[in-house]
Structure 1
Amino acid sequence: MNNDKSGFFLVREEILPEAIKKTIRVKEMLKRGDARTINEAVEKMELSRSAYYKYKDYVFPFYEASQNKIVTLTLLLEHKKGVLSSVLNTISADSGSVMTINQGIPLQGVANATVSIETANLSVDLEALLDKLRMVDGVKRLEVLGQS
């Protein structure tokens, strides 16, 4: 394994060490204005300043990491009229820009589709858009394939 490159990983919050979770919350408090200073925020979160400074430049919520990016989604869609159109309309309604669409031939009543979305002008955060897409009638599965 090449250790010269650093990469990004999606990790479920529940397995993160407490100091990293608290660092994320401190950053959110500062962003929302719930604390005026870093000192005030770390005290509220019962986090040491040194832990905050150690992690602050390396942790951020998924939606923040996906801003101004191209995100590629893979979807499993029911083979019925209008499902892909509803997905695309949902993306468009939140000002997402569809870059590419690739849909496979339907087999056994479902079709795989891959959609790449430019997120620069999204009117909602990416997680909210993904939740909306999962609620579209006919979307059986949705996963983030990657981002660039």
Structure 2
Amino acid sequence: MTSQKAVFYLVREEILPEAIKKTIKVKELLKRGEVKTINEAVERMELSRSAYYKYKDYVFPFYEASQEKIVTLALLLEHKQGVLSHVLNTIASDHGSVLTINQGIPLQGVANATVSIETADLDVDLEALLDKLRMIEGVKRLEILGQA
């Protein structure tokens, strides 16, 4: 018997078929407790039960795939006092564990930084944390470099 290793792709939502998008939304309704049964969730999303069962074990929001992982972020920060500190405090306030920090010398008023965080104990999903970090004054750019 041969076992195949699962292959994963990161795909933008807008190219997914409606049935897959609705399956993800059904799973979110159930996870948040907004509905009590799968029947109620699929009816609300106007999705057939068979489509839900066909895709449910194969589609996940990005943040779910990132739980209990190490994520490395690349940031472009304004050279102003406290910007990196605010980034680190925001990660810590949501119980992200900072593993490494590297910051380059500021050039032309900005500095590149990379921060690796462990996401196992995050209080929020990764996307919510990234949104918070992007909103910090002085964060010019934020990208995910990789995951382990």
TM-score normalized with structure 2 length: 0.87
Residue 101 of structure 2: aligned partner = 101
User: How well do the aligned residues superpose, as a CA RMSD in angstroms?
Assistant: 1.7
Q: 1:46 & 1:135 partners in 2: Cα distance?
A: 35
Residue 132 of structure 1: aligned partner = 132
Q: Which amino acid aligns with 1:146?
A: G
Residue 113 of structure 1: aligned partner = 113
Residue 88 of structure 2: aligned partner = 88
Q: Deviations over 1:40-81 (max 9, x none)?
A: 322332222222122111111122121111111100011222
TM-score normalized with structure 1 length: 0.87
Q: Which amino acid aligns with 2:121?
A: N
Could you tell me how far 1:133 is from its partner in structure 2?
A: 0.8
Q: 1:115 & 1:57 partners in 2: Cα distance?
A: 31
Q: 2:106 & 2:30 partners in 1: Cα distance?
A: 48
Q: 1:62 & 1:116 partners in 2: Cα distance?
A: 17
* More off after superposition, 31-40 vs 67-76: 31-40
Percent of residue pairs bearing the same amino acid type: 83
Could you tell me how far 1:114 is from its partner in structure 2?
A: 0.7
* More off after superposition, 31-40 vs 123-132: 31-40
Could you tell me how far 1:5 is from its partner in structure 2?
A: 4.6
- Whether 1:9 and 2:4 are equivalent positions in the alignment is no
Could you tell me how far 1:146 is from its partner in structure 2?
A: 1.6
SS of residue matched to 1:52? helix
Any gaps of 5 or more consecutive residues in structure 2?
none
Count of residue correspondences: 145
Q: 1:35 & 1:131 partners in 2: Cα distance?
A: 27
Q: 1:45 & 1:79 partners in 2: Cα distance?
A: 47
Any gaps of 5 or more consecutive residues in structure 1?
none
